[in-house]
Structure 1
């Protein structure tokens, strides 16, 4: 009996497909080294994307805070496979990559999909246009075989970027969205749903482990959960509504005093966002409480005081998730510490926070499509 149980565990673990994620050098470091950061921040302030498709306008956080740490992983498209480094994003639903159709100068710094070299490529008559306050991209929708590790989605719809502006030095070749189908502006079936519907994954879940310090070691896993990446138990939180990775948060506090989310608010768990984002008034209050001083569009504290700053506690479903100062005050390449709380420019009728990679580096996250819930646990 013990042998059968052990065999079952081995078989189950083999059903989990793990994709290594790499923390890449960021625009912040690159521009800081060239003494260009402040000029860039003034000219290209952080904004949420405005996405438009035929007959609809959908505003979602798609390309966010690319000047911070970003985690990218490899996928392939086409036959024979062409490799791309993409951002796995729970805030959007579509896959797109740069292509040889691109006429922008910026495309020369990215890996381009070469459609003529793929025997399984199939064009469509659909186009897409993604508009941003600081830039834009548009192109055509195509179909081809997409592979995420051992997972294969044949005849998968994806976008080929043809033209773009405003996205200097983006450190990835495209985005793979992992949100619900209703968030898709291309109108097709997202890749995770195709894999789920075709029985390619053992469970309709995926999970993220983001390394705190090392460039390597981060993982996105599909089809199950590897318990070696977290300690304690997973705390499950139901989604506010099916269709978006958004949960109810009880409060945000500092030194046992509520400083935001008084009476409850919404929190979007977003692997595509580097920072912690909230309403302007509440963000300003947090920056004031920790003594952060503005410099351009950023806020800084002396690195010498970081160890004396208080933790900021996020209470979700009755459980506290502390965010210590060592996590939210990050040292840049010039040896200065900037605060990773910023204004969320998306105006909503309710108080909404975005829990980005600053939070997710501390807490292992599981996205359960089968039960419309998110699991959180202390990352190892």
Structure 2
């Protein structure tokens, strides 16, 4: 997860039983395991366990002495999901996370040719290419055209400045003079302040959902004729077609065409930012350049 400092794995002894124990981490079977003893308690992930330290292998890269949470009890959010854990990829870790992230350790242990990684997300069955996370560089097979770069505006998040949006040849000011956006793989949505989202959807001709605040729906028969939506980053418009920002959901044979662009409420004492989830990152192959403190976007190849 791009917005997570911590990494965790489901431990073999966790309380809620897994259907496949072979996929669970078992420290007894590891000759490089180092016990830590400190409790791991993550409210957001509804997970409890303890901190552990071990070698972590990603493809052909082995990171030594990596701290991670070994989860033995889990509730709600991740309990029934078909995942083995969370791989934290924030630019910088914190004391609360016990130690550096896997990416930071890859850099400090000189496992990478450059302090970067890149991410390609496919369009489910619509792409012949698998989703791919590449450490140390990029792969041009996954993108077309040039990269558009924006400086990072935070040391702890993949956050950057966004200068507005474009819909139907109309430029919208979003986020005020200091518009900020952050990449977030934990959501499929593109989320922003409620008022700005409302203005954008009025131009798109969308209808507010009756039961879900901040969500909008389109007439499914008109989806193919919807205009592009552009987000201005680094002086360029990163455009999304309706194929990128419309999510079709089928419930009991009834198809609803949701907008992947949704509203969020922000407290008055916080600066509202936009969150660009996987709907955006499926459209753009993303380059995370920690060394030069920047982030780059190139049109994804599907």
Q: TM-score range by the shorter chain?
A: 0.7 to 0.9
Q: Distance in 2 between matches of 1:224 and 1:248?
A: 23
**Corresponding residue of 1:302:** 219
Equivalences for 1:254-265 in 2 at 5 Å? Answer: 254-261=167-174, 262-265=176-179
1:362 aligns with 2:273: no
1:160 aligns with 2:70: yes
Distance 1:346-1:194 versus aligned 2 partners, 3 A rule: farther
Distance 1:270-1:281 versus aligned 2 partners, 3 A rule: same
Choose which of 244, 249, 254 in structure 1 pairs with 2:157: 244
**Corresponding residue of 2:105:** 194
CA contact (8 A) 1:293 1:301 kept: no
TM (norm. structure 2) is: 0.87
CA contact (8 A) 1:276 1:353 kept: yes
Q: Distance in 1 between matches of 2:92 and 2:38?
A: 17
Q: Please report the RMSD computed on the Cα atoms of aligned residues, expressed in angstroms.
A: 2.2
Q: Distance in 2 between matches of 1:159 and 1:247?
A: 29
**Corresponding residue of 1:13:** none
Equivalences for 1:12-161 in 2 at 5 Å? Answer: 89-104=1-16, 107=18, 111-132=23-44, 136-161=46-71
**Corresponding residue of 1:327:** 244
Deviation, 1:131, is 1.1
Does the residue aligned with 1:185 lie in a helix, a strand or coil?
helix
Q: Distance in 2 between matches of 1:127 and 1:343?
A: 36
CA contact (8 A) 2:93 2:99 kept: no
**Corresponding residue of 1:286:** 200
Moved more, 315-324 or 223-232: 223-232
Q: For 1:324-346, what per-residue CA distance to the aligned partner results, in whole angstroms no more than 9, with x for missing partners? A: 22211122234321111223355
CA contact (8 A) 1:98 1:112 kept: yes
1:211 aligns with 2:122: yes
Deviation, 1:242, is 2.4
Q: Distance in 1 between matches of 2:98 and 2:92?
A: 8
CA contact (8 A) 1:292 1:339 kept: no
CA contact (8 A) 2:167 2:200 kept: no
**Corresponding residue of 1:70:** none
TM (norm. structure 1) is: 0.70
1:176 aligns with 2:87: yes
Q: Distance in 1 between matches of 2:282 and 2:240?
A: 10
Q: Distance in 2 between matches of 1:251 and 1:319?
A: 10
Q: For 1:293-349, what per-residue CA distance to the aligned partner results, in whole angstroms no more than 9, with x for missing partners? A: 415325322321112222211000110011122211122234321111223355463
Q: Distance in 1 between matches of 2:271 and 2:170?
A: 21
Q: Distance in 1 between matches of 2:265 and 2:35?
A: 36
Q: Distance in 1 between matches of 2:201 and 2:226?
A: 11
CA contact (8 A) 1:128 1:186 kept: no
